A and B are shown apart, each in its own frame.
Chain A
Amino acid sequence: MTLFLSYLINGISLGSVYAIIALGYTMVYGIAKMLNFAHGDVIMVGAYIAFCATQYAGLPAFVAVLLAMLVCTLLGVTIEGLAYKPLRQAPGLAVLITAIGMSYLLQNSALLIWGATPKSFPSVVSLPPVSLFDGRVKVTGETIMTILANIVIMIALTQFTGRTKMGKAMRAVSEDKGAAELMGINVNATISVTFAIGSALAAVAGVLLCSAYPNLMPTTGSMPGIKAFTAAVFGGIGSIPGAMVGGILLGVIEILGKAYISTELGDAIVFAVLIIVLLFKPSGLFGKNVREKV
């Protein structure tokens, strides 16, 4: 039982990282209707920035995270402006391929700058571990931090999209780009802000991910990126609560699947669950079913 509990907590922790990454995917998809494949690699860049800031510049962890967020925000907005904006009217596949190109570009740039050897990422979390049930279940500081960060981000984003003017503009653009533009909303600015938020979150996710799994390489972001993307689809792409729930569920399924069914088949179980969910709810758990007008 206690073993199950610790697996569950680990799952929620990993799932929280997926959820934070999935938010970036889901917000960008909701607004720009594109799958931003480079998002996973922004995570990796964020982690490298935080790594350099703490290891080479000796900055405190808190400052390092802020720096990583700043750099990733700039990176995200730049990627959007240079590569995706010229393709606003282009077919979806062209944008997808461009995003894939961007992903290659980021990975290979990282390879040139930081090399292929994995770097051991120092944890940026200084919280002490907590023991539950007379020490039978240990919860690391990283886990607590990840779950807390997830909750804070969730609340902040819900408030942002629900209450602020920019948040409402985002929802309007995701509903109908043309109509939003006619209402005087600056669509390009709204999309840029979305990329900025998503990329800043990616930096946070990168730091949290590498604090828990301290193996930093140029390809560190791709698999969590794909899984988080899956989580976003699982929850219903375009939906913020969907990304949260999808991310956490996916993390829990992955850890429990690896623990109780088969370590080797962990990823296969995750993807199989996704497929089953989509068969019964073709637009994800929280997605809207759109009927085609005839």
Chain B
Amino acid sequence: MKRNRKLAEKLITFGIVIAAFLLCKILIGTGVMSRSLRGQLIPICVYICMAVSLNLTVGISGELSLGHAGFMSVGAFSGIVAAMWLSKGVGVESQLHCLLFAILVGGALAGAAGVVIGIPVLRLRGDYLAIVTLAFGEIIRNVMNCIYVSLDGSTLRFGFINPGLPGKILLNGPMGATGVKKMASFEIGFVLVLFTLFVVLNLIDSRDGRAIMAIRDSRIAAESVGLNVTKYKMMAFVTSAVLAGMAGALYGLNFSTVAPAMFKFDTSILVLVFVVLGGIGNIRGSVISATLLTMLPELLRAFSDYRMLVYAIVLILVMIFTNNPKLKNAVGRLLPRRGASGKEAE
């Protein structure tokens, strides 16, 4: 019976995503959807994946990460290089193949970065862990500013800090990637969202996911029943990095120009805000809040100059109203609360 409820929760989440996708297809097909909103569709998919993957670290594993955009950045730039190499260097015609290859490469490299960063980071606890993830996010951005890659015939050439590379420049340090072929499509974005949800929801509802959540709830008790804390913290952290890298690759191939400055600290914070407002540990909440909040600045366009101000005020008010016991009782349950349990975590 419990199993059925879990399954139903999961199906509802997938149902919402699929229904939203079909609705979008209809709106596009009938020409109702505005141009600016159509342009938001891929970023929405990307941010859903980012929020869901960050929720794995913050909500399920219980470690505050302030550098998630770093993994997105690694995924975006490695994805661009991979796609350009495959299409221009090797000469693969199909954009879909290039895009999928880019997503795989982006995920793999971001996962490798996750391993390298996770080893030191996960030895720390609490606020110190958070600050080190922030530091790594900044280091990644800074290093990306110094990386130069060119395509010389069919070979990739790499350089660091202003080398004169032969051939067609793919990554140009702080200028980033210019003249990128936009390969990303809404359909692949939708598939990536489904994939991310599939991985995260199934992981949570398995032996390893329970171990991750147990360590979050009580590290000492988890150790006392024989759980290897480092292993499971790494599992959550690296999985989250891989998924963020895949989303990053899709994001990178959605713009003609991509600069390292697009993945700064603010982006990490933005994704964290999605996670917190959607409910920490609540995966469906992340999907919904990432969707609404990515559209919000667009919808607030009428306020033009004031929209970021409104965004900030809304953020503060929501936090106060959902977390102050007196106000919360007065307002009732407006948003999913913090502290979702294992069975709510879908």
Contacts and interface: CB of A to CB of B under 8 A. Distances in A.
Same complex:
yes
A271 B138 contact: yes
Given A93-B64, A230-B131, A272-B139, A105 B313 contact: yes
A161 interface: no
B324 interface: yes
A230 to B, nearest CB: 7
A229 B120 CA distance: 20
A264 interface: yes
Most interface-central of B265, B276, B319 (chain A CB within 10 A): B319
Interface in A60-116: 83, 86-87, 89-94, 96-98, 100-102, 104-105, 108-109, 111-112
Contacts of A111: 308
Contacts of A91: 323, 338-339
B20 interface: no
A108 B276 contact: no
Given A87-B323, A271-B139, A275-B132, A237 B309 contact: no
Contacts, number: 130
B272 interface: yes
Contact of A265 (B143, B309, B320, B324): B143
A283 interface: yes
Interface string A232-275: 01000100000000000000000000000010111110011011
A279 B120 contact: yes
Nearest to A91: B338
B315 A93 contact: no
A279 B129 CA distance: 10
A185 interface: no
Contacts of A292: 220
B327 A271 contact: no
Nearest to B308: A108
Interface in A211-241: 222, 226, 229-230, 233, 237
B311 interface: yes
A275 B138 CA distance: 12
Contacts of A203: none
A7 to B, nearest CB: 20
A52 interface: no
A264 B142 contact: yes
A278 B134 CA distance: 13
A122 interface: no
A237 B125 CA distance: 13
13 contacts: A86-B323, A87-B319, A93-B338, A100-B273, A102-B312, A105-B313, A109-B309, A226-B265, A230-B134, A264-B145, A267-B142, A268-B138, A271-B139
Given A264-B146, A268-B142, 15 more contacts: A87-B323, A94-B322, A96-B64, A101-B313, A102-B316, A104-B311, A105-B313, A226-B138, A230-B135, A237-B127, A271-B135, A271-B138, A274-B131, A278-B131, A283-B128
